[in-house]
């Protein structure tokens, strides 16, 4: 197998990174992103799994450094200088479909300059197509599955201490590419140590909609119980399985974050926080019982919530729920297996307004079977829900998802396999039965402008201003809207 020579237990340096873009002026943040696209603003999500991996490496006496070269806008020359200064033995990087080919080239440049450097790739794309990366790049290892925090630790322990490689690892043995079988997911998430928030600086990652400056991300579980055909992580990383931490384990982390960092607000970035309901209720009751003062938001599913649970969530500090609405067409919802009805969507948003929880609606327009009238109806439906925020996107059909398989078989995809740089959400990856991609892109941009620049939305935000904090939030949100969506046209 691939590997450098280390004395067991000796010092070994590991660099964890997002590699710099080789396409000048094009920056695609992929940290903790289910779907990735170019952005011009400074908002990036905290990479929880990488941070967990960094923590475990540090706990096992590895020297660890983290560099987000996407956020830092590093050139390849900058990154080569970082490698030369830190002198890592192992580089672990997360990649994703639209940047994977760029990352292959970057690894080639690194190997030219530092031939002894071991490299390991992780992330959803390489998890479903590991052999592709091994064949098309000089990467030494590919970690498959969503527990790549454990995978990177396992590879480091293999290189340093000759421990067995974790299941689901692809590697080289001479000129041969090999693997040691399918990945195995850890059943007991409580056994993973709490994240050291210093290695990957928590204060550099946040959401534009955050209310407080001391803002952090937490994951209460990994995976999702639902089967949406387009969704990346549940299918590509977690095999359709949901695993949860125990309520006491999560509460202990929240209390630690408050004690150590005086954290004021968190986003629970579990794929679907609102199920199982008994877990959610136990969590909320424990927060109330312990008197934990913390504002939090989460991802939710409209079929999970009722007035009783939403009221309890509000009492426990819930500020906003992100709901994947996607479409106003029941036909579309059924095809992509969302698992709810339009009436459940309306009811969930109505109940959230009633109890005082903000809503964030995610919307997709441009599926193959949709007409222009369908798409416009979806845009109008999203506005009628009166969400606090709405996010429009075009469907991006990643390899490894059920929708990708169906689209490839039926000839719905615009791009060929291997043209992964085009899967960047700048243009629809699906053909449409009625409209051209240019027409869909125009409608998409009009959806953003027509929603956020409408008098209804503007007056609603103005009447909600209560403090300087609210004004700061509104200005930051406007900046993100313009730089992240309007100016980029995406």
Q: What is the average pLDDT across 88-112?
A: 97
Sign, CA dihedral 415-27-109-2, equals negative
Q: For 122, list phi and psi in degrees, rounded to 5.
A: -140, 170
Q: Is residue 131 part of a domain?
A: yes
pLDDT at 477 over 70: no
Asked if residue 100 is part of any domain, the answer here is yes
Closest by CA to 239, choosing from 219, 251, 225, 254, is 225
Could you tell me if 58 and 123 lie in one domain? yes
Residue 387 half-sphere exposure toward CB, CA atoms < 13 A: 25
- Give 198-227 pLDDT, tens digit per residue: 999 999 998 888 889 999 999 999 999 999
- SS3 state of residue 56: helix
H/E stretch holding 222 reads: strand 221-222
Quick: pLDDT tens for 52-86. Answer: 999 999 999 999 999 999 999 999 999 999 999 99
The stretch 231-250 carries a mean pLDDT of 94
Q: Based on the fold, state whether residues 144 and 291 are members of the same structural domain.
A: no
List the CATH number of the domain containing 31: 3.40.50.2300
Is 9's pLDDT higher than 60? Answer: no
Q: Mean pLDDT over residues 433-445, rounded?
A: 94
Give the pLDDT mean for 148-175. 97
Say yes or no to pLDDT of 228 above 90: yes
Q: Given pLDDT bands bounded at 50, 70 and 90, which one contains residue 7?
A: very low
- The pLDDT score that the predictor gives to residue 466 is 66
Separation CA 27–CA 33 (nearest Å):
14
The enclosing domain of 432 has a CATH number of: 3.80.30.20
pLDDT of residue 3: 46
Q: What does the pLDDT average to over 164-169?
A: 98
Residues 6+ apart with CB under 8 A from 213: 264
Give the domain range for residue 233.
Answer: 206-486
Q: Taking 50 as the threshold, does the pLDDT of residue 5 lie above it?
A: no
* pLDDT given for residue 14 in this prediction: 98
**Cβ count near 415 (within 10 Å):** 16
Confidence bin at 438 (pLDDT 50/70/90)? very high
Domain assignment present for residue 201? The answer is no
Q: Is the pLDDT of residue 427 over 90?
A: no
Shared domain for 151 and 219, answered yes or no, is: no
pLDDT at 56: 98
Would you place residue 486 in the very low, low, confident or very high pLDDT band (cuts 50, 70, 90)? low
Q: Give CA–CA dist 55/192, Å, rounded.
A: 10
Does residue 487 have a pLDDT over 60? no
pLDDT at 23: 76
The answer to whether residue 288 sits within a structural domain is yes
Pair (164, 217) in one structural domain: no
- Asked whether residue 54 is domain-assigned, the answer is yes
Q: What is the rounded average pLDDT of the residues 441-459?
A: 85
Task: Map 360-376 to HEC letters.
Answer: EEEEECCCCCCCHHHHH
Residue 157 lies in a domain: yes
Domain count, the chain: 2
Mean pLDDT calculated for residue range 10-15: 88
pLDDT at 247 over 90: yes
Tokens of 5: 């020579």
User: Residue 352's CB: how many other CB atoms inside 10 A?
Assistant: 27
* pLDDT level of residue 38 (50, 70, 90 thresholds): confident
Q: Are residues 271 and 340 in the same domain?
A: yes
The pLDDT of residue 482 is above 80: no
Same domain, 26 and 164: yes
Residue 391 lies in a domain: yes
User: Tens digits of per-residue pLDDT, 113-161?
Assistant: 999 999 999 999 999 999 999 999 999 999 999 999 999 999 999 999 9
Name the nearest CA neighbour of 208 among 486, 484, 490, 487.
Answer: 484
**Do 279 and 413 sit in the same domain of this protein?**
yes
Total-model pTM: 0.92
Average pLDDT over the chain, rounded to an integer: 92
With respect to residue 198, please indicate whether it lies within any of the assigned structural domains: no
What pLDDT sits at residue 469? 67
Same-domain status, 397 and 289: yes
Of 179, 194, 228, the position where a domain reaches its end is 179
Give the model's pLDDT for residue 256: 97
Residue 488: pLDDT band by 50, 70, 90 thresholds? Answer: low
Are residue 173 and residue 211 in the same domain, yes or no?
Answer: no
- Asked whether residue 259 falls in the same domain as residue 401, the answer is yes
Quick one: 437 and 310 in the same domain?
yes
- Answer with the one of 139, 164, 179 that is the final residue of a domain: 179
Whether residue 146 sits in one domain with residue 65: yes
């Amino acid at each position: 197998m691939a590997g450098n020579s280390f004395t067991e237990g000796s010092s070994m340096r590991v660099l964890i990174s997002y590699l710099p873009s080789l396409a000048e002026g094009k920056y695609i943040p992929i940290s903790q992103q289910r779907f990735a696209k170019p952005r011009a603003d400074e908002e990036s999500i905290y990479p929880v799994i990488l941070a967990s991996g960094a923590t475990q490496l540090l706990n096992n006496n590895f020297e660890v450094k983290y560099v987000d070269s996407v956020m830092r806008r590093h050139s390849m020359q900058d990154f080569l200088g970082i490698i030369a200064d830190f002198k890592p033995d192992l580089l672990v990087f997360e990649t994703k479909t639209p940047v994977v080919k760029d990352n292959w080239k970057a690894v080639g440049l690194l190997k030219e300059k530092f031939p002894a450097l071991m490299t390991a790739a992780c992330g959803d794309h390489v998890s479903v197509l590991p052999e592709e990366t091994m064949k098309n790049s000089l990467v030494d290892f590919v970690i498959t599955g969503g527990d790549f925090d454990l995978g990177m630790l396992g590879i480091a322990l293999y290189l340093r201490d000759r421990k067995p490689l974790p299941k689901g690892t692809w590697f080289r043995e001479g000129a041969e590419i090999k693997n040691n079988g399918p990945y195995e997911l850890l059943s007991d998430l409580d056994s993973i140590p709490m994240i050291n928030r210093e290695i990957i600086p928590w204060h550099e990652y946040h959401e534009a909609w955050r209310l407080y400056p001391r803002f952090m991300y937490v994951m209460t579980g990994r995976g999702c119980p639902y089967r949406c055909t387009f969704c990346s992580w549940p299918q590509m990383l977690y095999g359709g399985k949901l695993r949860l931490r125990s309520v006491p384990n999560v509460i202990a982390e929240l209390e630690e974050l408050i004690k150590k960092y005086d954290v004021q607000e968190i986003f629970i970035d579990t794929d679907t926080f609102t199920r199982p309901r008994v877990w959610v209720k136990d969590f909320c009751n424990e927060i109330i019982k312990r008197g934990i003062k913390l504002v939090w938001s989460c991802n939710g599913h409209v079929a999970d919530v009722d007035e009783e649970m939403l009221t309890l969530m509000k009492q426990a500090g819930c500020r906003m729920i992100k709901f994947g609405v996607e479409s106003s067409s029941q036909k579309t919802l059924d095809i992509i297996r969302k698992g709810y009805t339009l009436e459940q969507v309306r009811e969930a948003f109505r109940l959230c307004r009633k109890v005082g929880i903000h809503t964030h609606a995610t919307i997709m327009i441009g599926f193959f079977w949709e007409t222009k009238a369908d798409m416009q109806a979806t845009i109008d439906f999203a506005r009628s829900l009166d969400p606090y925020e709405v996010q429009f996107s075009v469907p991006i059909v990643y390899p490894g998802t059920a929708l990708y398989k169906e689209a490839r078989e039926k000839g719905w995809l615009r791009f060929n396999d291997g043209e992964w740089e085009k899967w960047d959400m700048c243009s629809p990856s699906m053909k449409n039965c009625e409209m051209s991609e240019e027409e869909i892109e125009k409608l998409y941009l009009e959806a953003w402008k027509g929603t956020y620049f409408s008098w209804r939305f503007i007056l609603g935000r103005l009447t909600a201003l209560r403090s300087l904090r609210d004004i700061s939030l509104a200005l930051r949100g406007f900046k993100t809207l313009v730089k992240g969506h309007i100016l980029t046209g995406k």
